A and B are shown apart, each in its own frame.
Chain A
């Protein structure tokens, strides 16, 4: 049987029976690669996900599952570009504050009901309803949908939300402010539709495998909390014919070293690489150890509030400490997973963001060290008057290694005394949030792919600005970026001010460092947000 006949039979089978394994023993329709008989993708998740309810889910591993079970208006392709989901497209008015989405009439729920515009209206109202009190209600507010803030605060009725089903296949959204990237935000789990009848019938238990009805490429078939969750192809999905992977298994494995061992024993198709092990694994398994940039940063923030140490009020001290950090040692010797060194707050991987030339990045480490010594001496700190402060980080082996390395670098180069504080996560958040520290670890992953998702953190009134950095020029620039057509100049100036003022010490930007079985096809390594869809993956025959 030649490839064409097999393909013909395969497509015949899939259109006739719409059951699983349509592509098994076949070839990939576009790449022509031979497909494995067993189209099961098994991967590790660090922790039990909080929920698979689209309006409730708040963690990354939960959102990954929700993206398979439900489908929103728009999806992302392997590069992170916007592609149609339930909506075939959208139009917007000139002022970009009214968006109208057209829904495809072939979209169905897994129980056969059609997916209609009112399913989205129900879901979005649900997300802001104080009754549900979703931890992601803020996302709808971030989307600038009319009245979202007032509804969350309980000041306005839920029905006042600026979203209307014009008819079954037309959804209109009204915004309180123009938002050029609104459509991008509809790839987020919070905006996915919800089955009203099922939720009303089962209450909070609607997400259990025996009750759940979903509209994505997969349905939830098994869930043993803290152990595994299994999703299998949804025969009712409008594009089920193009789905190749039949079954996706997420295994909860808390310990990353156990996960790696189980990967090497062939139990998993994907797992994370523990810090420091990438070079060895790359040597032993060159086709499987992969590293690519992620949309996250890692930094230390100075406490610039009134409670903070006097020494840190002097920008020279902050700059000296930042200069003396040999980032290469941290990225190459400690993490060793291909993470880029950071001299700016926003990562280079951010869409439309050109990394501005900051002075520090052009210098050699020796030059930085001598400048650091000079600056610190100018500020009045030296052997007679040594600088001492505490630094806190949350419990994790690699955070600890980095903190120890930083302390050593400062001690050797500048004679600075540091007192390290290892805090459990919730204690850490509380301590940092109360400005009860001198220097604290921080990290941020972008909520959307635009530099403001990072830079806004350093706005004076940002709730996430735990270092309490205040700079009116930065605030002005960030406000102007919201309506500017070209933001390059603005973001460059912001980063230059940050380099000058050093309210934070950027250390490195994250990389996705995985062991990925070489028979997994089409993993979206170029999607920096790592929004992946199992329906786009396939398993190649070995």
Chain B
């Protein structure tokens, strides 16, 4: 197990390195630069600015300096757009916000999704099943960019119950709509995966054995059926966790949360190279780590899996 983790981490390093290098070149090859503007800067001013940020160096040198500063100083560079902040500042300020929304959405999507799925499977072909499946499909059909406007019109404009956006130190009123918008469609998918997985498990031989030896339904479900049911769900939850963090781009922009999504999209549009690259590395690393955790979780859910 330990050896497996170490092996995986060693593979992760070149993966992230490739990600950095590919993003670095893609970014620099995109037309326009951080200081391209409608009012072209006089050549001297442009030269001064480029020298200040090292953009006058050849690309390989820029990449080398960039990697050097990350590895030895954990410094992801300055923002070209926001003079009083560097990339570390921007991530330190925005990521906790995105993480809060993301984690809450993940929790909401998995708890509600799994519960709905289990309820539907246990009461297969009853009204509970139909309602749960109906809700699941409806939720799946409502991506966050549809949910956002619906929620804001309902709760902010018509009912006047919730503020239409902002963060305000993470007060609960400000969290509700973004979390619903972000979690709904995943909730639907999780419910459907759980339901079909549970139905399959309930029809398998070891469950029939458990029932045959006279175990009450409750124990059959909780002690025997739940773990194998969750195996396919867990493999879906891993990517979902990454999606709710990166997918918060829309929610961050739509609800003006001050989260990292806004900074990410803004940096791509303004060619704020260091910010763009910094957030890409963060998201990339997160994906690698979460994938590893998902793989490790398999072993717990399925004793047949050994590392």
Using a CB–CB cutoff of 8 Å, the interface residues on chain A facing chain B are: 47-48, 50-51, 53, 56, 58, 130, 133-135, 137-138, 141, 152-154, 204-208, 224-228, 251-255, 257-258, 261-262, 264-267, 424-427, 429-431, 433, 463-464
Contacts and interface: CB of A to CB of B under 8 A. Distances in A.
A392 to B, nearest CB: 12
What 7 A-B pairs are tightest by C-beta distance, nearest first?
A426-B32, A227-B258, A133-B48, A262-B164, A153-B44, A430-B31, A226-B262
Given A224-B258, A226-B263, A227-B256, A135 B41 contact: yes
Given A141-B42, A427-B31, A227 B167 contact: yes
B174 to A, nearest CB: 10
B84 A261 contact: no
B84 A138 contact: no
A254 B266 CA distance: 10
B31 A255 contact: no
Contact of B32 (A224, A255, A257, A427): A427
Contacts of B224: none
A396 to B, nearest CB: 12
A431 B30 CA distance: 12
B38 A429 contact: yes
Given A141-B42, A152-B44, A152-B45, A53 B84 contact: yes
Interface stretch (B149-157, B231-239, B281-289): B149-157
A228 B82 CA distance: 15
A152 B42 contact: yes
B103 to A, nearest CB: 19
Interface residues of B, number: 52
Nearest to B80: A50
Nearest to A444: B38
A542 to B, nearest CB: 17
Nearest to B257: A227
B84 A205 contact: yes
A261 B156 contact: yes
Given A135-B41, A253-B165, A426-B269, A48 B31 contact: no
Contacts of A429: 32, 36-38
B36 A430 contact: yes
A205 B252 CA distance: 25
Nearest to B78: A204
Contacts of A430: 31-32, 36
Contact of A135 (B45, B82, B85): B45
B247 interface: no
Interface string B90-125: 100110000000000000000000000000000000
Contacts of B304: none
Nearest to A255: B254
Contacts of B36: 426, 429-430, 433
Interface string B248-260: 0000111111110
A262 B165 contact: yes
A254 B262 contact: yes
Given A51-B83, A261-B164, A429-B38, A133 B32 contact: no
B32 to A, nearest CB: 3
B40 interface: yes
Contacts of A254: 253-254, 256, 262
A267 B165 CA distance: 10
B84 A208 contact: yes
A50 B262 contact: no
